[in-house]
């Protein structure tokens, strides 16, 4: 049963359906018409309702049924979200260096050394462009600006 | 006519200012670079570089740079198509067919030079035409009221969803989803909060820049993690660079037709460089006395599409700058670039920001010359760039996207949104759902919502006002024909039809 969720289109349709229901309910509550005229819920409700037949049609399309998720990008998404979560606490320098090394080593399947060299090069370039030249206040280390 | 010439002169005086020449040069260089490198398209690059243009400070310089990346990529994209049979960007897909065959026959030089020369001629023709068509569009659109704007937005979104080559149903799905997310935030008419779930960060709406950078930039590098492989350069030499008399003869008509066709396709919302090049190839094959040569190294199969994609890239600025209607995903990102600079594209842009309108157009003349110089004599140098390991691109895009997003508002939440949007972008790619119509709908949703409600107020609650005014009625009639034709084709083709996978790069 759960194998249907290996297909990207099934996952996408399920998520879009959930989004449509949530927006549809919220639009209903906002109202379609007020004393002054058309309400804020009118257009989003119409869009949410129209999504229902569209999603059904998509599910009936036979498109690339062999397409499956690849573990590498899925892991990368989790790593990126974890990275965004720790950034405010650790600053840019350490998490960014680690993520580039990890990216090069595991996602691009290159050596640690190459990862370290690329991380150093990109971080120095990024610092020069954004902090030194463009004067953007970037928090590079915890507690520092 | 004279007025337009005077305005072009004014634009040229701005475009040749040293700082604007520098921005155009940087843009052309970056554009050629991303056009040459497979896996990194103009869409990704423009999206990722958006925050940097904010730091530029000067709106004209910023837009010149973004625009030149776009048409620069159209030039550079042909190089890998011809030498590797790998399109450097989506609009050069069709060039692979005959360009690579020519390279195999030892005619890579003429193929590369005719692509660059065709691009130059088409780009120049398109920019000249744009100088005259643009103001005409803007003057016409000044009289538009809410019903016309609503009809125009619906027209643009329907076309973007249906003529991209993928499944029209999936395109419509993305448009509807884009409308929903585009309406998150404070309702400008009543002041009510919509779909914010009490999160202060999205009270003013979901921020466009991290969203686009995530969808197109991070989404693309995540998708590329699946695509492994090294590029093998063709062993044969590039050979003589310039085409011979026979090749010139075969190409000249194709370049002329490609320029006109591309220009017209670029004007249509939903059209653009990819469709322009596909249509040009079909046209050249139909008109050819020797159609059997197509696919075997016909130079017209390179000259036509390469001219068309450049002409379309330039003319797609017309709906963006004069109607405030981004016609495709790339111009949707450029729309975001203008908004970052507090410039609202639309009919009033000619009045309020003539410097930007004419400066950008004039910079395209200058940019076309720069690109010819960059691409033709330096083709060997660009080919050497293909030796750069592809795996470096992912971390580089990642770092620029992260630092760039944060630099805009120093907001950690934006980096989180960037990552979530990246995950969504990957999912959409995998599900063959094109993020382009989503981006366009996201941008146009507030305009659609406000104009629909204002139109309803004008009509005392009667939606019939939209079909009772001549311009909006005509636009709605054309839209209905497009919808009916698409529905008919869709049903006729059956549900088992294979649709092309969208290419966001």
Per-residue model confidence (pLDDT) at position B497 = 52
At B504, the pLDDT band (50, 70, 90 cuts) reads very low
First to last CA, chain B: 38
Whether the per-residue pLDDT at B225 is higher than 80: the answer is yes
Are the C-beta atoms of residues B382 and B375 closer than 8 Å to each other?
Answer: yes
First to last CA, chain A: 51
Q: For A1-18, b where at least 16 C-beta lie within 10 A, e where not — what string?
A: eeeeeebbbebbbeebee
Per-residue model confidence (pLDDT) at position A50 = 96
Please tell me if residue A26 touches chain B, with a CB cutoff of 8 Å.
yes
Per-residue model confidence (pLDDT) at position B271 = 66
Comparing CB atoms, the residue among A76, A88, A100 nearest residue B412 is A88
Sort out which chain A residues have CB atoms less than 8 A from B195's CB and list them: 23, 26, 44
More confident residue, A83 or B109: A83
Comparing CB atoms, the residue among B173, B179, B457 nearest residue A43 is B179
At B170, the pLDDT band (50, 70, 90 cuts) reads very high
CB contact under 8 A, B223 and A34: no
More confident residue, A139 or B259: B259
Please tell me if residue B460 touches chain A, with a CB cutoff of 8 Å.
no
Please tell me if residue B427 touches chain A, with a CB cutoff of 8 Å.
yes
At B505, the pLDDT band (50, 70, 90 cuts) reads very low
Report the residue of chain A nearest B432, measured CA to CA: A9
In angstroms, the separation between the Cα of residue A95 and the nearest Cα of chain B is 11
Whether the per-residue pLDDT at B394 is higher than 70: the answer is yes
- Between CA B153 and CA B476, with CA B278 as vertex, the angle to 5 degrees is 20
Are the C-beta atoms of residues B231 and B277 closer than 8 Å to each other?
Answer: no
Whether the per-residue pLDDT at B37 is higher than 80: the answer is no
B53 burial type by CB count under 10 A (0-12 exposed, 13-18 middle, 19+ buried): buried
Structure tokens at B202: 């999205």
Q: What are the beta bridge partners of residue B185?
A: B194
Distances (CA, A) of B214 to A98, B261, B323, B361: 20, 33, 27, 29
Per-residue model confidence (pLDDT) at position B313 = 85
Residues listed for chain A: 145
Per-residue model confidence (pLDDT) at position B428 = 93
The model's pLDDT over B95-132, given as tens digits with 9 standing for 90+, comes to: 888 988 898 888 888 898 898 899 889 988 888 888 88
Q: Which element (helix H / strand E) includes B338? A: helix B329-340
Mean per-residue pLDDT, A71-79:
93
Mean per-residue pLDDT, A125-142:
85
At A62, the pLDDT band (50, 70, 90 cuts) reads low
The model's pLDDT over B406-454, given as tens digits with 9 standing for 90+, comes to: 888 888 999 999 999 999 999 998 998 988 889 889 988 998 999 999 9
Comparing CB atoms, the residue among B395, B422, B448 nearest residue A80 is B422
pTM of the model: 0.83
Mean per-residue pLDDT, B193-222:
88
Are the C-beta atoms of residues B216 and B440 closer than 8 Å to each other?
Answer: no
Are the C-beta atoms of residues B386 and B40 closer than 8 Å to each other?
Answer: no
CB contact under 8 A, A54 and B176: yes
Mean per-residue pLDDT, B372-401:
81
Residues 65-104 of A with CB under 8 A from B: 67, 69-70, 72-73, 76-77, 80-81, 83-85, 87-88, 92, 96, 99-100, 103-104
Please tell me if residue A39 touches chain B, with a CB cutoff of 8 Å.
yes
The model's pLDDT over B446-485, given as tens digits with 9 standing for 90+, comes to: 989 999 999 999 988 888 999 999 999 999 999 999 999 9
Percent of the residues in chain B that have a pLDDT greater than 90, as a whole number:
25
Helices A71-90 and B412-430, packing angle to 10 deg: 170
Average pLDDT, chain B: 85
Identify the CA nearest to A39 among candidates B190, B457, B255.
B190
Per-residue model confidence (pLDDT) at position A114 = 94
The model's pLDDT over B49-90, given as tens digits with 9 standing for 90+, comes to: 888 777 777 889 988 998 888 888 877 778 877 887 766 666
* Maximum C-alpha span of chain A: 67
More confident residue, B503 or B338: B338
Mean per-residue pLDDT, B259-275:
83
Q: Cα–Cα distance between B417 and B294 in angstroms, integer?
A: 46
Whether the per-residue pLDDT at B174 is higher than 90: the answer is yes
Whether the per-residue pLDDT at A60 is higher than 80: the answer is yes
Please tell me if residue B400 touches chain A, with a CB cutoff of 8 Å.
yes
At A82, the pLDDT band (50, 70, 90 cuts) reads very high
Are the C-beta atoms of residues B398 and B221 closer than 8 Å to each other?
Answer: yes
In angstroms, the separation between the Cα of residue B405 and the nearest Cα of chain A is 11
At B405, the pLDDT band (50, 70, 90 cuts) reads confident
Least confident window among B153-157, B237-241, B369-373:
B237-241
Residues 195-214 of B with CB under 8 A from A: 195
Percent of the residues in chain B that have a pLDDT greater than 70, as a whole number:
92
Mean per-residue pLDDT, B30-47:
77
Per DSSP, B464 falls in state T
Please tell me if residue B222 touches chain A, with a CB cutoff of 8 Å.
yes
- Between CA B422 and CA B429, with CA B423 as vertex, the angle to 5 degrees is 90
Whether the per-residue pLDDT at B27 is higher than 50: the answer is yes
Q: Cα–Cα distance between B79 and B487 in angstroms, integer?
A: 38
Mean per-residue pLDDT, A75-86:
95
CB atoms within 10 A of CB B199: 11
């Amino acid at each position: 049963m759960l194998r249907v969720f290996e297909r990207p289109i099934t996952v996408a349709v399920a998520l879009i359906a959930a989004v449509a229901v949530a927006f549809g309910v919220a639009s209903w509550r906002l109202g379609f018409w007020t004393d002054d005229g058309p309400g804020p819920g009118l257009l989003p409700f119409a869009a949410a309702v129209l999504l229902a037949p569209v999603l059904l049609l998509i599910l009936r399309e036979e498109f690339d049924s062999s397409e499956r998720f690849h573990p590498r990008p899925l892991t990368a998404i989790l790593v990126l979200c974890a990275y965004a979560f720790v950034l405010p606490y650790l600053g840019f320098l350490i998490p960014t260096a680690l993520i580039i090394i990890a990216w090069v080593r595991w996602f691009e399947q290159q050596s640690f050394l190459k990862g370290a060299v690329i991380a150093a090069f990109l971080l120095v370039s990024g610092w020069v462009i954004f902090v030194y030249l463009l004067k953007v206040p970037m928090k590079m280390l915890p507690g520092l600006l | 006519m004279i007025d337009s010439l005077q305005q072009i002169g004014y634009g040229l005086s701005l475009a040749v200012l040293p700082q604007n020449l520098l921005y155009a040069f940087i843009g052309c260089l970056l554009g050629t670079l991303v056009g040459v490198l497979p896996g990194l398209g103009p869409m990704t690059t423009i999206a990722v570089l958006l925050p940097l243009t904010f730091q530029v400070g000067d709106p004209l310089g910023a837009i010149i740079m973004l625009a030149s990346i776009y048409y620069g990529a159209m030039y550079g994209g042909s190089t890998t198509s011809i030498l590797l049979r790998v399109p450097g960007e989506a609009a050069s897909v069709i060039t692979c067919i005959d360009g690579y065959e020519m390279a195999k026959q030892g005619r890579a030089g003429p193929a590369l030079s005719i692509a660059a020369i065709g691009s130059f001629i088409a780009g120049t023709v398109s920019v000249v035409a744009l100088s005259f068509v643009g103001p005409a569009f803007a003057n016409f659109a000044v009289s538009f009221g809410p019903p016309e704007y609503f009809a125009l937005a619906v027209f643009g979104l329907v076309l973007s969803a249906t003529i991209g080559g993928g499944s029209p149903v999936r395109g419509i799905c993305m448009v509807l989803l884009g409308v929903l997310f585009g309406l998150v935030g404070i309702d400008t008419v009543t002041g009510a909060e919509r779909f914010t779930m009490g999160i202060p960060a999205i009270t003013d709406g979901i921020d466009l820049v991290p969203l686009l950078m995530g969808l197109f930039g991070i989404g693309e590098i995540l998708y590329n993690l699946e695509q492994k492989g090294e590029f093998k350069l063709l062993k044969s030499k590039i050979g003589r660079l310039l085409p011979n008399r026979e090749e010139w003869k075969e190409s000249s008509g194709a370049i002329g037709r490609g320029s006109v066709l591309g220009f017209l396709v670029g004007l249509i919302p939903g059209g653009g460089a990819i469709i322009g090049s596909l249509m040009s190839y079909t046209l050249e094959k139909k008109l050819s006395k020797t159609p059997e040569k197509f696919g075997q190294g016909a130079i017209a199969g390179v000259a036509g599409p390469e001219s068309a994609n450049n002409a379309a890239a330039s003319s797609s600025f017309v709906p963006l700058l004069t109607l405030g209607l981004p016609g495709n995903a790339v111009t949707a990102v450029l729309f975001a670039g203008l908004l970052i600079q507090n410039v609202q594209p639309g009919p009033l842009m000619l009045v309020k920001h003539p410097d930007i309108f004419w400066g950008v157009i004039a910079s395209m003349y200058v940019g076309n010359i720069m690109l010819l110089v960059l691409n033709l004599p330096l083709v060997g140098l660009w080919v050497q760039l293909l030796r750069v390991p592809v795996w470096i691109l992912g971390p580089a895009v990642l770092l620029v996207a992260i630092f760039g997003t944060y630099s805009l508002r120093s907001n950690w939440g934006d980096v989180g949104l960037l990552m979530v949007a990246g995950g969504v972008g990957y999912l959409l790619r995998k599900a063959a759902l094109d993020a382009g119509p989503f981006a366009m709908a996201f941008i146009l949703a507030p305009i659609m919502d406000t104009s629909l409600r204002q139109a309803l107020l004008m009509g005392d609650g009667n939606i019939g006002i939209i079909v009772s005014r001549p311009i909006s009625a005509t636009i709605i009639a054309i839209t209905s024909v497009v919808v009916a034709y698409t529905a008919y084709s869709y049903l006729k083709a059956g549900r088992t039809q294979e649709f092309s996978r969208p290419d966001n790069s």
